[in-house]
Amino acid sequence: MKAIILKEAGSVDKLEAAELPIPVINDQEVLIQTKAISINPVDIKTRTGKSLYSELRSQNPFIILGWDVSGIVAESGPTVTKFKQGDEVFGMINFPGHGKAYAEYAVAPAEHLASKPANITHEEAAAATLAALTAWQALVTNAKVIKGQKVVIQAASGGVGHYAVQIAKWLGANVIATSSSANRDFVMSLGADEHIDYKKHRIDTIVTDADFVLDPIGGDNIDPSLNAVKKGGTVIMLPSFFKDEIIAKAEAKGVNGYFFTVRSNGADMQQLATLLEKGFVRSHLSKKFSLDEMKEAHLQIESGRTQGKIVVTL
């Protein structure tokens, strides 16, 4: 099978095409013939030697990047009851671990997958995996957002943000979304109630009483995020900078502030599948690439300016 491998960290030129044997599954796993893969900032961080690079490279002769897959079940292990050959499935495989999604075939524990809704494409399904699960686990599992709450979604035009706006609206929240002015119409079309152009305004000059803030930016943005939430509210930060110092700052303000890492979870995927099937959540695909164009796909995510998601189609 064709795969894209990484032997050492570096620029996009380190992504190499390779011919590998089709992987072998164990009893609880599913072999997926990959139809679409989505690309995330963690792919770029790992490729450049950050994030999961050291751990994965120390255990393997090379890394196969990628965690987000939609495809067709080619084979299922003997103890797998939920999926059989020919079924369409999607999910985020083995995160945070070795996903090995950049390949014509991928192996997934059955418990990381959900059935792909018949009324969405493999591209739309592949997109709604790591980014959508992050939004789900932040808003539903962790923050437990409820109807009527004031929720700020930052970087609302990006992969995580565009799902977070839609999920927050489905939960019945009042959603304030941040992006540049170029993406204002896009985030409002997702259902946001208000828009803040982060290039013109710090959010805490406009909002100081939110119940929940999702901060996918970090760094200098963390203070404004902590100030935008009311006492007793929650801020979830996605990039993991200076953990202890920031958690202490949040505590001093009476705010529940923490970092969070998304985890593979088939039950959560199934909830997302229902929202996708019913049209409460849609994947916005701003660009599509082929497997041979993986370098271009990485450069697009690396730009930090992606609208919605990009996918690689096989």
CB of 161 to ligand NAP, least distance (A): 5
| 201 CB-near residues (< 8 Å, 6+ apart) | none
Among 62, 170, 198, 280, interactor with ligand NAP by CB under 6 A:
198
Q: Do the beta carbons of residue 31 and residue 23 sit within 8 Å?
A: yes
DSSP-derived secondary structure letter, 209: -
Among 99, 159, 233, 257, interactor with ligand NAP by CB under 6 A:
159
Q: Is 261 in the site for ligand NAP (CB under 6 A)?
A: yes
Residue 266 — φ and ψ, nearest 5°? -65, -30
Q: Is 256 in the site for ligand NAP (CB under 6 A)?
A: no
Residues 218-237 that bind ligand NAP (CB under 6 A): 221
Q: Is 178 in the site for ligand NAP (CB under 6 A)?
A: yes
CB of 50 to ligand NAP, least distance (A): 10
Residues 64-123 that bind ligand NAP (CB under 6 A): none
Conformational region of residue 181, where left means phi above 0, alpha means psi within -120 to 50, and beta covers everything else? alpha
Q: Could you tell me the two tokens for 106?
A: 């991928």
**Which CB sits closer to ligand NAP, 19 or 220?**
220
CB of 196 to ligand NAP, least distance (A): 9
Q: Is 183 in the site for ligand NAP (CB under 6 A)?
A: yes
Integer Cα distance of 112 and 96 in angstroms: 12
Q: Following DSSP, what letter does each residue of 40-99 receive, concatenated?
A: -HHHHHHHTT-TTHHHHHHHSSSB----EEEEEEEEE-TT--S--TT-EEEEE-STTS--
Q: Could you tell me the two tokens for 201?
A: 């305004």
Q: Is 155 in the site for ligand NAP (CB under 6 A)?
A: yes
169: amino acid identity, one letter = K
**Which CB sits closer to ligand NAP, 6 or 25?**
6
**Which CB sits closer to ligand NAP, 73 or 131?**
131
Among 76, 225, 283, 307, interactor with ligand NAP by CB under 6 A:
307
CB of 19 to ligand NAP, least distance (A): 30
Q: Is 182 in the site for ligand NAP (CB under 6 A)?
A: yes
Integer Cα distance of 242 and 22 in angstroms: 41
| Paired residues of 72 in beta bridges | 33, 88
Positions in the binding site for ligand NAP (CB under 6 A): 40-42, 130-131, 134, 154-155, 157-161, 178-180, 182-183, 198, 216-217, 221, 238-239, 260-262, 301, 304-307
